[in-house]
Structure 1
Amino acid sequence: MQRMTNKTVLITGGASGIGKIMARLLLERGAKVILWDINKLKIDETISELASKGTVVGFIVDVSDSNQIEQTAKKVKKEIGVVDVLINNAGIVAGKYFHEHTTLDISKTMDINASAPMLITKEFLNDMLDQNSGHICNIASSGGLISNPKMSVYAASKWSVIGWSDSLRLEMKLLKKNINITTIMPYYINTGMFDGVKSKIPILAPETAALAIIKAMEQKKRMVTIPGYMYRLTRIGQGFMSINVFDWFAGKVLGIYKTMEHFTGHKK
């Protein structure tokens, strides 16, 4: 069991949604929390709300900008010190058919969802290697396990995260380093990001999802789907069914292929 007491934890996308809830849960466990977010107002609101629970600071950063990542990481190291736990949580989705995506939709989704976790981890991993301890938690998606209409670019970004994240875990194992890597693959979470989604499989409550992620890190789990049966449903189904049968199972029985039909996303 890994304790978070006195650990310095950095959460990207930490000023709203499950990032904000995870920040609270970590503060309640005695951690020191660093929030990275693009929205200054939300950072200020979150710090004001959570300050009574412990040490929490925030940095404004657009994680789609590699220069901002590098410069903000330097600032964190100078002002705060070594980051013990990194949670790559920031993400976006553009729920459209692929041909409707703009070039900006594609590049922004890949920059934030796929490239940013790698670039941010690169900034803090060497310190973890030097002290031979640390934990990196990458929030992917069950969309990285199963294809889905109107999620092609999002799914591509999350498949990328899963492949990179678990490869990083194996590298740490081969190097015999005490650095844990946890890959999280949640189903839809009711945070506003997926407003309009209709699903036969229950949509996750934010508090439930955030708590499951924190517990997964405490238990040093390696790959976690939320709910837990999602991995078995997808991997076993894909392994034993033909493509046509699996399409019927995922599309008709589970209704997954129709979940994005009425997607609206965050209200502007």
Structure 2
Amino acid sequence: MSNRRLTNHIVVITGASGGIGREMAMLAASQGALPILIARSLDKLKEAQRVIKEHYQIEADVHSLDISDLDAIQDVFTAILKKHGHIDVLINNAGFGIFDYFTDATLKDIKSMFDVNVVGLMACTRMAVPHMIERRSGHIINIASIAGKLATPKSTVYSASKHAVLGFTNGLRMELEDQGVQVTAVNPGPIRTNFFHIADPEGGYTASVNRFMIEPEHVASKVIAAIGTKKREINLPWTMSTGSRLYQLFPRLVEAIAGGLFKMK
């Protein structure tokens, strides 16, 4: 018998036009949820909407949105809440990275990463949380990164943005723990998606970490399974998670032993 545990749940997913965002939307729909898909590409959103309708007989809602546009975020979430009444789950998945040495990074790129990865994520959360508190029910899931725990050369700015996401997520979790709202951080390592078309256009890093890459379907399954639970963090894969924990305990030793691996970009 199919798993319909998310029947009638309103699940908002940013960055839903591809990669793990699209996979999470499909999996949520397969479990009976109504996915609300947000991304910049309306064409890709409509294609995901069509597939969901065809496979699961659910009419997903789609909204074209640039997560760096704070006014547009307010407009879109206001429209969602007016139409659907509430949000059960917000998965903040939208984000991007540009791998470059800090001295070569442009201020425009630095600002863009923080505008999307941090400020935009916070703005989306700010629109959803008050209504969740009012209902004493809801789940915020923030897609951060192992890079937020273990920074490496050429991911300096990206890692800083994801470190900010983790700090925000941990603080928010404690603020909301008595309000009936769950907060989960997801920290994946490299995922086999189009993320690296922007982050690593020359393909050197992608080739060097290919054996460590995880499939988007695997990440999506872990995230959707966590909905409605008190899961604090999801760290994938276990090898990189273990490495980040060791780094927090023994940073100098880990840098000495694994410094070459860190510089594979």
TM-score normalised per structure 1: 0.89
Q: Map Cα deviations across residues 198-225 of structure 1 (whole Å, 9 max, x no partner).
A: 2276111111111111123354311111
Q: How many Å apart are 1:183 and its aligned residue?
A: 0.3
What's the secondary structure of 2:153's corresponding residue? coil
- 1:263 maps to none
- 1: CA distance, partners of 2:235 / 2:101: 25
Structure-to-structure mapping, 1:81-96, within 5 angstroms: 81-96=85-100
Q: How many Å apart are 1:117 and its aligned residue?
A: 1.2
Pick from 162, 172, 180 the counterpart of residue 158 of structure 1: 162
Does residue 102 (structure 1) correspond to residue 106 (structure 2)? The answer is yes
User: For structure 1, which segment, 226-235 or 4-13, has the greater mean C-alpha deviation from structure 2 after superposition?
Assistant: 226-235
- 1:264 maps to none
The total of aligned residue pairs comes to 252
Pick from 240, 244, 255 the counterpart of residue 247 of structure 1: 255
- 1:266 maps to none
- 1:208 maps to 218
- 1: CA distance, partners of 2:191 / 2:259: 20
- 1: CA distance, partners of 2:17 / 2:43: 9
Q: Structure 2 regions of 5+ residues with no counterpart? A: 198-202
What's the secondary structure of 1:94's corresponding residue? coil
**8 Å contact from structure 1 (residues 8, 84) kept in 2:** yes
- 2: CA distance, partners of 1:223 / 1:48: 32
- 1: CA distance, partners of 2:80 / 2:19: 23
Equivalent position amino acid for 1:257 in 2: K
Structure-to-structure mapping, 1:1-268, within 5 angstroms: 3-52=5-54, 53=56, 54-173=58-177, 176-195=178-197, 196=203, 197=206, 198-199=208-209, 202-239=212-249, 241-243=250-252, 245-252=253-260, 255-258=261-264, 260=265
Q: Structure 1 regions of 5+ residues with no counterpart? A: 261-268
Equivalent position amino acid for 1:123 in 2: M
**8 Å contact from structure 1 (residues 27, 55) kept in 2:** no
What's the secondary structure of 2:140's corresponding residue? strand
Q: How many Å apart are 1:99 and its aligned residue?
A: 1.6
Q: Map Cα deviations across residues 65-92 of structure 1 (whole Å, 9 max, x no partner).
A: 1111111111111122211100000011
User: For structure 1, which segment, 105-114 or 50-59, has the greater mean C-alpha deviation from structure 2 after superposition?
Assistant: 50-59
Equivalent position amino acid for 1:104 in 2: K
Equivalent position amino acid for 1:167 in 2: G
Q: Map Cα deviations across residues 47-106 of structure 1 (whole Å, 9 max, x no partner).
A: 112112113110011010111111111111112221110000001111111122222101
What's the secondary structure of 1:138's corresponding residue? strand
Name the Cα RMSD after superposition.
Answer: 1.7
User: For structure 1, which segment, 186-195 or 135-144, has the greater mean C-alpha deviation from structure 2 after superposition?
Assistant: 186-195
TM-score normalised per structure 2: 0.90
Equivalent position amino acid for 1:39 in 2: S
- 1: CA distance, partners of 2:238 / 2:6: 23
**8 Å contact from structure 1 (residues 238, 246) kept in 2:** no
What's the secondary structure of 2:182's corresponding residue? strand
- 1: CA distance, partners of 2:60 / 2:166: 29
